[in-house]
């Protein structure tokens, strides 16, 4: 039996695991929610295969789940094949932040899991470079995250003048704050209708800005409804460091639906095959974006996404797990 070990917390990694399970086969892959309180009840038998979905903060408040490492070390001798998908590695920050002091322990947990693994996967080249120091030449794959709300098999050129702001309330709040009033000024110049999708934001300043600028607030929607909105929209905006954008399921959703992504990031160095102006626009545009430019960028983003679709992730895991 193949077990995907997950934290059980709702969110992107939980959705990721369910989608890959469906892609490979629910009769082949079993999802195992693991927490510090239920380790004794997990039914993983000798000879089974385990793929750990690793993101430290989902297993531990401080992002350093030593209990998880101990559990995997204890079971390792009976696990036939052990793989890890590193969704995140470790945090870092200045000395006055807790991440600075926790980072060494977080790195230790991730390093040991990489050393123990038979194969591993991750979602960004920067993470892969770090992991290779400890995992050596073990089989591995670097696949940016896929869209958890669906994919377009072909990109539609017919688009409405809609700008999507999608994601968690926290991410959208950061995006609105990073964009500032320039976002609404550009939307007005470009004749864009702004559509906000996700749990309501609670930041009063942002709430006031959305109301003042007639933003259409949809609230939480089912995946198929979000997909319908994205397939018709021209632009999607997100605030995220470009060096880490390959692990954003929101950016993946924009690309999978062929939107022209607008990325708010302090840097624009090439990362994970992404180039500013070709796969995304950097920063809130100061003028009107030509319709052809928006379409070309949307096509570029959609093309970039095709190398790491849901099917690509499924095929990579089938290869590592020796499945037909």
In this predicted model, what pLDDT tens digit does every residue of 299-319 receive, in sequence order? 999 999 999 999 999 999 999
Predicted local distance difference test score (pLDDT) of residue 269: 80
Percent of the chain scoring above 90 in pLDDT: 83
- pTM for this structure? 0.94
**Among residues 113, 107, 83, 134, which one has the least CA distance to residue 313?**
83
Predicted local distance difference test score (pLDDT) of residue 46: 86
Predicted confidence band at 93 (pLDDT cuts at 50, 70, 90)? low
Predicted local distance difference test score (pLDDT) of residue 94: 63
**In order of start, what are the domains of the chain with their CATH numbers?**
2-146+309-320 (3.40.50.2000), 160-308 (3.40.50.2000)
Span 207-236, average pLDDT? 97
Structure tokens at 50: 């385990």
Tens digits of per-residue pLDDT, 10-65? 888 999 999 999 999 999 999 999 988 888 778 888 899 999 999 999 999 888 99
Tens digits of per-residue pLDDT, 168-191? 999 999 999 999 999 999 999 999
Centroid of chain to Cα 17: 12
Q: Report whether pLDDT(324) > 80.
A: no
DSSP strands (E only) in 87-176: 119-122, 140-142, 160-166
Structure letter (DSSP) for residue 105: H
Q: How far apart are CA 234 and CA 218, in angstroms?
A: 17
Predicted local distance difference test score (pLDDT) of residue 323: 86
Work out the mean pLDDT of the chain and round it to a whole number. Answer: 93
């Amino acid at each position: 039996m193949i077990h995907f070990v997950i934290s059980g917390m709702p969110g992107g990694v939980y959705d990721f695991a369910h989608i890959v399970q469906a892609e490979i086969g629910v009769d082949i892959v079993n999802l195992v929610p693991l927490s510090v309180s239920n380790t004794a009840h997990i039914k993983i038998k000798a000879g089974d295969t385990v793929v750990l979905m690793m993101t430290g903060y989902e297993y531990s408040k401080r992002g350093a789940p030593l209990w998880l490492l101990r559990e995997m070390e204890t079971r390792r001798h009976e696990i036939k094949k052990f793989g890890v998908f590193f969704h995140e590695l470790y945090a870092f920050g200045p000395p006055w932040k807790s991440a600075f002091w926790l980072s060494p322990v977080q790195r230790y947990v991730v390093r040991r899991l990489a050393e123990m693994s038979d194969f591993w996967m991750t979602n960004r080249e920067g993470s892969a470079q770090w992991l290779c120091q400890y995992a050596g030449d073990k089989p591995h794959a670097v696949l940016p995250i896929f869209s958890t709300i669906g994919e377009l098999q072909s990109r539609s050129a017919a688009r409405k003048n809609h700008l999507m702001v999608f994601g968690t309330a926290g991410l959208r709040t950061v995006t609105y704050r990073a964009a500032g009033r320039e976002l609404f000024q550009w939307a007005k110049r470009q004749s864009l209708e702004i559509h906000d999708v996700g749990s309501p934001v609670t930041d009063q300043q942002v709430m006031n800005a959305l109301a003042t600028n007639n933003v259409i607030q949809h609230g939480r929607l089912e995946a198929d409804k979000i997909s319908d909105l994205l397939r018709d929209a021209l632009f999607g905006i997100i605030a995220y460091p470009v060096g880490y954008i390959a692990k954003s399921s929101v950016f993946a959703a924009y690309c999978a639906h062929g939107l022209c992504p607008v990325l708010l990031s302090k840097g624009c160095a090439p990362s994970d095959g992404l180039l500013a102006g070709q796969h995304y626009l950097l920063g809130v545009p100061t003028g009107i974006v030509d319709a052809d430019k928006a379409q070309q960028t949307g096509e570029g983003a959609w093309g970039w996404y095709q190398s790491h679709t849901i099917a690509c992730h499924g095929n990579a895991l089938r290869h590592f797990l020796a499945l037909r």
